[in-house]
Amino acid sequence: MGISRGLRIWRMGALVAIGWGLFTITLMHVISSHDPIHDTLSSYTTTDPGLLSASVLALAVGSLAVLGCLAAGGVPLPRTTRVLLSLWALGLATAAVFPASYPPHPDLTSGEIHLYSCVVAFASLPAAALTLLEPLRGTAERALVARRLRFGVAVLVVFGVSFLFARLDEAGLPVHTVTELLPVGATQRLMLVADVVLLLGLVRVAVRVDATRAAAELQPAAARD
């Protein structure tokens, strides 16, 4: 499948950045003593801040490259889509710069910025994908985005519920049974997988749209010959 040079460059940038982010976060899990089932990714700032920041920043850079892929591939991009994808990347980058607040050196201001940056990021990516459904109406690419979006939204809801009950558990409320059934660390990592799957799906959409456009441009030339 032939794609334009510009799209190839953006796609390479997106895949390398996202791949590096996944590599560093995997390495962080291998060398850390944290519990990946119950501990959130933010808690790694107390033991592996460099790897955590590197992985999140790489994912942010890769996400901007995904936006470049969509533009270079000729995908119809409403302004809302561009803003939401940028907010997703900005939220990730801000969360990487301002770590969560944990003992023994708590920083409440940084912790609040980190929390709300994550909220903005987690909500912005599925919202961006949602805004693409109408411009892609009637295409196979719409079905691809819709499938991955449904998975992402379902996982986001599950994570939101698990995060809420984890906060209630920390406050001393009797919800420990729920936090064991929906451990926040596991649901957050599942959400990360869903987000990466959605990002890679958007790259695939860009490639398909670009290839379709190139094929359509070749047809009149072939007919004239």
pLDDT tens digits, 178-187? 999 999 999 9
Average pLDDT, stretch 147-158? 97
* Pairwise CA distance, residues 65 & 27, whole Å: 23
Q: pLDDT for 22-46, tens place per residue? A: 999 999 999 998 999 999 999 999 8
> In sequence order, what DSSP letters do the residues of 1-69 get, joined into one string?
----HHHHHHHHHHHHHHHHHHHHHHHHHHH--S-TTTS-GGGGGGT-HHHHHHHHHHHHHHHHHHHHH
- 219 — pLDDT class (breaks 50, 70, 90): low
Q: How far is CA 50 from the centre of its chain?
A: 20
Instruction: Pick 198 or 102 by higher pLDDT.
Output: 198
Q: pLDDT for 70-128, tens place per residue? A: 999 999 999 999 999 999 999 999 999 999 988 877 899 999 999 999 999 999 999 99
